[in-house]
Amino acid sequence: VTTFDDVLGQSIAVSLLRRALAAGRLPHALLFQGPAAVGKATVARVLAGALLCDAPGPAGPCGRCGSCRKLAHGNHPDSFTITRLPKRKTAAVAANDEDEADEDGPDAAAGKGTLRPFIVVDQIRDLLEHVAFPPREGRARVILIDPADRMHAAAQNALLKTLEEPASRTVFVLVASRPHLLLPTVRSRCLTVRFAALPVPELARLLVARGQSDAEALERAGLAGGRPGAALSLEPGSLRRRRDAVLAALETCARGVQGLADVPAVVAALLGDDEDGFLEGLEILEALLRDAALVAAGAAVERLVHADARERTAALGGRLGAPRAAAIVRSVERLRHDLRLNVNRTLVAEALLAAVAGGPVP
């Protein structure tokens, strides 16, 4: 069983939760926010285990009792996970105009994948019928909503009253990498627990402590941009291919006027296959440009995310200059924060690459 001791990094979030559990003062609604693949869902599962376990210890669930076994098998009656449903199972709610409205936007392609783009209001209503009753097995009930930032506005509104007047012994954990997409009223009813990417050397040390070689740990930590979940779960080869594709696109565009003409040809590298792929592309772009600015300013190699690509980011930084690279990084941060489900991703990606080619910084 996974315990709090197994979580890589995130010591502030974990110690906050441990203290609250030990004192019996865990708030009834928590918002775990931070970048993708840094450990939010892992910690949420450990917390659920600690709340439902028959004999929890300081590290969380015991892993041996009946409750822990049911949770591990996904059949604990007091554990609920609300997530996006597969498309084909949702024909019944597809008739709900309100829930479908946003799918006709310029990026209806959010629906290109196999999951519905949103957690819909019917899912929340079904859940609240359970919440009206006490937990079935006694100790507590844990409701994980992930990704909470994909809750449709109607679904968020349906949840509000319950967040305001909590059911007994029920804890809601909302997991969100883009918390600004939640209604302010939902956010304000939750205790925010912040998660962050780790410095690359720190994550590499933690991976070495878990048995990886120095070289593999450093490679994985760097390619994952310090995100533990990405470093553990993703195959280094695929991380490297994506990183190299974005880097190659940047190099193409950094040739100035000539690069500007090539923006449409290389934009796919940044866009990825879907919205999550684009967000990942933006994270990679940001890390590479930050490295380029740092190298151009003479920073030590230890401060770089992609240390193995230092010669290429140095050349990129030399072409762009540190101020321009830093300005584009700030622009990416702003754009990522403002990114709504209905923005035209291609326009955003092209504007950023055009800025690399010397165009105005969006």
* Minimum CB distance to Zn ion smaller for 55 or for 94: 55
Closest to Zn ion by CB, 65 vs 245, is 65
User: In whole angstroms, what is the distance from residue 309 CA to residue 107 CA?
Assistant: 33
Residue 3 vs 96, nearer CB to Zn ion = 3
**Of 77 and 256, which has the nearer Cβ to Zn ion?**
77
What is the torsional sign of CA 229, 231, 237, 243? positive
Decide: is 65 part of the binding site for Zn ion (CB under 5 A). yes
Nearer to Zn ion, 65 or 128 (CB): 65
Beta pairing class for 141-145 and 29-33: unpaired
Give the one residue of 62, 85, 327, 341 binding Zn ion; rule: CB under 5 A: 62
Contact window for Zn ion (CB under 5 A) among 16-24, 65-73, 270-278, 302-310: 65-73
Size of the residue set binding Zn ion (CB under 5 A): 5
Give CA–CA dist 14/7, Å, rounded: 8
CA distances from 315 to 108, 184, 225, 248, 318 (A): 38, 43, 20, 12, 5
Nearer to Zn ion (CB atom), residue 68 or residue 296: 68
Minimum separation from the CB atom of position 72 to Zn ion (A):
10
- Please identify, among the stretches 56-64, 161-169, 173-181, 241-249, the one whose residues bind Zn ion according to the rule CB under 5 A: 56-64
C-beta of 76 vs 336, nearer to Zn ion: 76
From candidates 68, 154, 285, 305, binder to Zn ion by CB under 5 A: 68
In 3D space, the residue among 122, 357, 349, 185 whose CA is nearest the CA of residue 262 turns out to be 357
If the CB atoms of residues 21 and 361 are measured against Zn ion, the closer one turns out to be 21
Least gap, CB of 62 to Zn ion (angstroms):
4
Shortest CB 88 distance to Zn ion, Å: 36
19 in helix, strand or coil?
helix
Q: How far apart are CA 78 and CA 64, in angstroms?
A: 17
Segment contacting Zn ion by CB under 5 A, of 68-76, 91-99, 117-125, 209-217: 68-76
Q: What is the rounded CA–CA span in Å between residue 292 and residue 313? A: 5
Q: Identify which range of 13-21, 55-63, 278-286, 340-348 contacts Zn ion by CB under 5 A.
A: 55-63
Please provide the DSSP assignment of 123-139 as one string. Answer: HHHHHHHHHTS--SSSS
Q: In the stretch 261-300, what mask flags binding to Zn ion with x, by CB under 5 A?
A: ----------------------------------------
The residue range among 59-67, 163-171, 220-228, 349-357 that interacts with Zn ion, by the rule CB under 5 A, is 59-67
Smallest gap from residue 171 Cβ to Zn ion (A): 17
The closest of 281, 142, 76 to 65, measured between CA atoms, is 76
DSSP conformation letters of 154-210: HHHHHHHHHHHSPPTTEEEEEEES-GGGS-HHHHHTSEEEE--PPPHHHHHHHHHHT
CB 185 → Zn ion: shortest distance, Å? 35
Tokens standing for 337?
């924060």
* Angle at alpha carbon of residue 15, lines to 9 and 18, rounded to 5°: 125
Q: Which residues bind Zn ion (CB under 5 A)?
A: 53, 61-62, 65, 68
